[in-house]
Amino acid sequence: MENLITSYFYWENSAAVIVDITPEKSRAFIFRVLKEHEGWKEATPDQVKDFFIDGTRLSESEFKKEFGVIGDNLPNLPLE
């Protein structure tokens, strides 16, 4: 992933990320491990709030250890 600022989460047995596209714009995605064939899905605003309430924030290395590497064994984020 380019030089985008990314926050990583473990949320409802799934990988979740928030990517700061610009200082004013962020996008959030969920990768449901049990539905991995569906790929990354864009998170709703309520889901993003819940990342912070019921989820666990992870460092990049913790995320990689738990889920893998985005763009390697996880699909690239659909940022376009």
Structure tokens at 5: 């600022």
Number of domains in the chain: 1
Q: Are 30 and 15 in contact (CB under 8 A)?
A: yes
**pLDDT value at residue 15:** 96
* Per-position pLDDT tens, the chain of length 80: 445 679 999 999 999 999 998 888 999 999 987 776 789 999 999 999 999 999 999 999 999 999 999 999 999 999 87
**pLDDT value at residue 3:** 56
**pLDDT value at residue 4:** 64
Residue reference for tokens 């473990």 = 10
The residue ranges of DSSP E strands in the chain, in sequence order, are 5-11, 14-22, 25-32, 40-42, 56-58
**pLDDT value at residue 33:** 78
Distances (CA, A) of 76 to 53, 54, 58, 79: 26, 25, 19, 8
Domain that holds residue 16: 5-66
Does residue 73 belong to any structural domain of this protein?
no
